[in-house]
A and B are shown apart, each in its own frame.
Chain A
Amino acid sequence: MRMPEPDAAVMGRRESIVAHLRRIVPGEGVISSIDEMRAYDCDGLSAYRQLPLIVVLPSTTEQVARVLAYCHKNGVKVVPRGAGTSLSGGSLPLADAVTIGLGKFNRILEVDLPNRCAVVQPGVTNLAISNAVAVDGFYYAPDPSSQIACSIGGNVAENSGGVHCLKYGLTTNNVLGVEFVTIEGEILRLGGKHLDSGGLDLLGIITGSEGLLGIVTEVTVRLLRRPETAKAVLMGFPSNEDGGDCVAAIIAAGIIPAGLEMMDKDAIAAAEDFVHAGYPLDVEALLICELDGPEVEVDHLIDQVAAIARDHKASTLRVSTSEEERMRFWAGRKAAFPAVGRISPDYMCMDGTIPRARLPEVLARMREMSVKHGLRVANVFHAGDGNLHPLILFDANKDTELERAEAFGADILILCVEVGGVLTGEHGVGVEKRDLMPTMFTESDMAHQQRLKCAFDDGHLLNPGKVFPTLHRCAELGKLHVTGGRLPFPDIPRF
């Protein structure tokens, strides 16, 4: 992975930067010893590691603003960091950048049930929000699998999703407002407890901006009432085509399930072996369809789903009859990643999205690629919205396996784009998919994205080296001659 050349002059000024930062964030809030900084040397994409220049852990918005203003004035790069669970290297440190950790922003500031929202600090974990309002029967809908660990600030920065976002939307559809600090150290408040502020939707573009536009220091989220009931159907199919057709038929019948997850044969086997969820082992594809909402409605729709499954040759068909059984259906799916971790020393989780109808074809092509690269792949995916999570199995200690896994991953993502899909559905571009951006976007497309960056951070101090393969200087963007041609990409570095 090629990262921007570290700025030797900035690294040479390290001691003075530490001293200045200590004046802003006193005591333990500035970490400069190599040993202590090790805890911050990677995120969830742990194949890449880099010690930061310095780590700062501010505890107030004012401190964040002063740290950013200082960095801006002195040309020091900044990497924002939440809980460090990013799977795309979004919070990977840079040798010449200050990592700003939001871990001390861990308070829930206000729960406002009459207005159905909560105001929280960015370091609060996703699950902590739901837990705080559970007694009152409310929850925060987006539920990434990492919800026990990931921070709401990180969720905003990545526009994270979860198994229930088919019905309830992604982070962007569930955030009402943020407090946000620009690289100049200006504090902005966008949105609030109301909906749809007029003017340009700055809240909308900050969500999913991967730490490239500023630092989120407060988040107002929408709370929902817990559904009255939830039931799941477990379905097994003799082929991926049948499973895929069944998914299409459920949606075509006008049903939007709360969750609609699919697993292929390898993933089923690994999960069953690990948690003994009672999954059938003689099927090619397994589908879990969860419906939630008013009890009458769930009962009504679950019958329809079961009928559709029967029509699509389901060889296994079970409807959960108790909360315990529903949880058991999910147990295997939820443990799919660690289950695969048991059967392989290492695995790499991909995250492309495709138009759902192309699923059988994409799975077939993936199997051919598996042969070509000599590596196994297990598939779990959010079938309802076409978001694939192929898990590539490899052993980093074996010669060339890491490189082969990376090449395999790139091939899968290029295939996703080729069939009309995208490089990333929820994990973000980060460093992982950065160099593949030209497969999806022309030079002009990317220049227009960078214009956004230029309006917020024209010096490219915030999280450089992420998302964009090349960051043009803002002044140079204006001189781009767009010919409609694509960037040449024979030499895309395989992340």
Chain B
Amino acid sequence: MTDTAFRPTDEAQLVELVAWACAEKKPLEVRGTGTKRGLGAPGNAEHSLDMTGFTGLSLYEPAELVMSAGAGISMAEVEATLSAQGQHLAFEPPDLNALLGTEGPGTLGGVISCNLAGPRRIHAGAARDHFLGFRGVSGRGEAFKSGARVVKNVTGFDLPKLMAGSMGTLVALRELTIKVLPAPEAVGTVLVLGLDDETAGGALSRALGSAHEVTGAAHLPGSLLAGSALPDALLSLGKAVTLIRVEGPSPSVAHRVKALRRELSDLGETHALDSAASRAAWAALRDVKPLVEPRDRAVWRISVAPMAGARVVESVGKVRPVEAFYDWGGGLVWLATDEEGAGKGTGERDGGAQAIRAAVAAQGGGHATLLRGSQALRAAVSVFQPQPGPVAALSRRLKDQYDPHGILNPGRL
């Protein structure tokens, strides 16, 4: 329950606030525009620390491929600024508003803190891979910086990596420095129709193992085409669609689309999407649009070895009804299932956690995160993949080092 919202606008205020919270042992919910409040375990902070007072671009040098901005800068502003120079955030951060039922532009600080990445993850890396440096205030109320504005930097420990994905539990990040890249001139997508999940996994593996520099590799079963933003003509066929994306200069994209269609023609009927249609389709996959409805289902984000994705879905499907689609060449499974157990009315309510995690373990390991779930479900199951003892102990020691009083987003990770 949040009582007061503090909104500092400079470092001195931020230090003072965190130092106060430290001294008084008052937990703070560190937040941007709140679009990702539903991610992670539900927090229980009394007050909130609103970081949207830290805005503005302090550095943007397109030719140096770098920008620095306040953590509270809106993603819309970041994207508009970069696109005016023909650049973008190559890790393709998703907009999860539709899925999570939230509203708001989202902030750069939120995207980095959750280490979110879209379909291009397999080619360009995640948010963590583009996060070069930061300034912030640790849970001890001390201001410090880490990293730098250059990409090539191994001076001291790589603390930006620790911050990416820490969900605001260690440090209130005030300013972030990010690597930016040229946006591709053209995009093309090859579609293969009618493959089952397992065969699609093999097709994606072939495409990713080719020399065509594939930057997106996904598979949608026929039942999930609604919300996919694919052209109507394809939707009406009702067949599963396997999508393979290439990006770059137009002649290169055209050439590679042709080559991929030829190389995959033994698998089934192929189609191609032009730049505009490609952009729409990949944005929908990135934002998990196919699983938005019905809203009362739990949605899991499962990361496994690419070839294991289809097998995980198959084995979970044996014990409860599921719907799933695949990204990252099969390695990222978006899976929706009822919050209640297979035996409806038994009161069992784990959203499939046990079955999913057993399947992941049986397929060589990985992790399953509950991305969307009711407050009750998120409180009842472990939202994140439970960690082995020594890893959990180390993570706890890290939390104690940076936030010994547990005042920053307690309970979130």
Does the CB pair B413–A199 fall under 8 Å? yes
A-B contact pairs, 30 of them (CB 8 A): A114-B209, A182-B390, A189-B388, A193-B304, A194-B367, A198-B384, A201-B115, A201-B161, A208-B157, A228-B211, A251-B63, A254-B86, A256-B181, A294-B211, A294-B212, A297-B249, A385-B151, A386-B152, A422-B152, A422-B153, A425-B150, A427-B154, A429-B156, A440-B148, A444-B144, A447-B142, A448-B138, A448-B146, A448-B402, A484-B143
**Which chain A residues have a beta carbon within 8 Å of chain B's beta carbons?**
112-117, 137-138, 158-159, 161, 165, 169-170, 172-173, 182, 186-190, 192-202, 204-205, 207-209, 212, 225-228, 248-249, 251-252, 254-256, 293-294, 296-297, 300-301, 353-357, 382, 385-387, 420-429, 433, 437, 440-442, 444-449, 451-456, 467, 478, 480, 482, 484
B residues less than 8 Å from A445 (CB atoms)? 144-146
Decide if B276 is an interface residue (CB 8 Å cutoff).
no
* Contact for B144 among A197, A437, A448, CB less than 8 A: A448
> Given A207-B158, A301-B249 in contact, is the A198-B394 Cβ separation under 8 Å?
no
Q: Which residues from A are CB-within-8-Å of B222? A: none
Say whether B355 faces chain A, with CB atoms less than 8 Å apart.
no
- With beta carbons under 8 angstroms apart, the residue of B63, B125, B249 that contacts A356 is B63
- Given A173-B129, A225-B209, A452-B401, are A424 and B150 neighbors across the interface (CB < 8 Å)? no
CA distance A116 to B123 in the complex (A): 12
- C-alpha gap A284/B360 in the complex (Å): 58
Complex interface: chain A residues within 8 A of B126 (CB): 195-196
Q: A196-B126, A200-B413, A294-B212 are in contact. Are A425 and B162 (CB under 8 A)?
A: no
- Is B387 interfacial (CB 8 A cutoff)? yes
Query: Within 8 Å CB of A296, what residues of B?
Result: 251-252, 255-256
Cα-based distance from A478 to B66 in the complex (angstroms): 34
Asked if B303 contacts A197 (CB within 8 A), the reply is: yes
> B121 contacts which of A169, A195, A387, A478 (Cβ < 8 Å)?
A195
A4 to B171, CA, bound (A): 32
Q: In the bound complex, do residue A204 and residue B128 qualify as a contact, i.e. CB atoms below 8 Å apart?
A: yes
Instruction: Report yes or no: A355 in contact with B64, Cβ–Cβ below 8 A.
Output: yes
Taken together as a complex, chains A and B put the C-alpha atoms of A135 and B346 apart, in Å, by 56
Instruction: A138 to B211: give the CA distance in the assembly, Å.
Output: 10
User: CB-CB < 8 A to A196: which residues of B?
Assistant: 115, 117, 121, 126, 128, 165, 303
Do the beta carbons of A201 and B128 come within 8 Å of each other?
yes
Q: Which residue of B lies closest to A385 (CB)?
A: B152
Question: In the complex, what residue of chain A is closest to B402 when comparing beta carbons?
Answer: A451
Contact A449 B255 (CB under 8 A): no
Interchain CA distance A444-B146 in the complex, whole Å: 10
| Other-chain contact of A192, B153, B182, B364 (Cβ < 8 Å) | B364
Known: A255-B182, A429-B155. A204 touches B164 (CB 8 A): yes
Separation of A356 and B94 alpha carbons in the complex (Å) = 31
Enumerate chain B residues within 8 angstroms of A115, measured Cβ to Cβ.
205, 305-307, 331
Taking A115-B205, A422-B152, A448-B402 as known contacts, 13 extra A-B pairs with beta carbons closer than 8 A to each other, sorted by chain A number, are A116-B306, A169-B125, A186-B390, A194-B304, A194-B331, A201-B166, A209-B157, A251-B64, A297-B255, A433-B155, A449-B159, A455-B394, A480-B142
Query: In the complex, what residue of chain A is closest to B121 when comparing beta carbons?
Result: A195
A169 near B129 with CB under 8 A, answer yes
How close is B325's CB to chain A, nearest CB, in angstroms? 17
Taking the complex as formed, is B54 at the interface, i.e. its CB lies under 8 A from any CB of chain A? no
CA distance A204 to B162 in the complex (A): 7
Top 7 closest pairs, chain A to chain B, by CB: A204-B161, A297-B252, A254-B182, A193-B305, A425-B152, A451-B401, A194-B366
Return the contact of B142 from the options A165, A195, A197, A482 (Cβ within 8 A). Answer: A482
Report the bound CA distance from A386 to B61 in whole Å: 14
B13 at the interface (CB under 8 A from A): no
CB <8 Å contact, A297 and B304: no
CB distance from A355 to the nearest CB of B (A): 6
User: Is the CB–CB distance between A198 and B153 below 8 Å?
Assistant: no
B149 CB to closest chain A CB, in angstroms?
6
Q: Nearest Cβ in chain B — how far from A262, in angstroms?
A: 14
- Asked if B395 is an interface residue, CB under 8 A from chain A, the answer is yes
Given contacts A169-B129, A294-B252, A455-B400, contact A200 B303 (CB under 8 A): no
The answer to whether the Cβ of B374 comes within 8 Å of any Cβ in the partner chain is no
| A454 surroundings in chain B (CB, below 8 A) | 401
Q: In the complex, which residues of chain B have a beta carbon less than 8 angstroms from the beta carbon of A449? A: 146, 156-157, 159
What is the CA–CA distance of A426 and B151 in the complex, to the nearest angstrom? 10
Chain B hits for A421, CB < 8 A = 148, 150
Separation in Å of the A297 CB from the closest CB of chain B? 3
Query: Would A200 and B158 be within 8 Å (CB), given that A173-B125, A195-B121, A254-B185 are in contact?
Result: no
Q: Which residues of A contact B384 (CB under 8 A)?
A: 198-199
Tell me, yes or no, whether B1 is within 8 Å of chain A by CB: no
Contacts of B366 in A (CB 8 A): 192-194, 197
Whole-angstrom distance between the Cβ of B46 and the nearest chain A Cβ: 24
B331 touches A195 (CB 8 A): yes
| Interface pair B145/A355, CB less than 8 Å apart | no
Contact indicator per residue, chain B 305-332, by CB within 8 Å of chain A (1) or not (0): 1111000000000000000000010011
Complex formed: what's the CA distance from A173 to B160 in Å? 13
Contacts of B332 in A (CB 8 A): 195
Assess the B209–A422 pair: CB atoms within 8 A. Answer: no
Q: Is the CB of A198 within 8 A of B391?
A: no
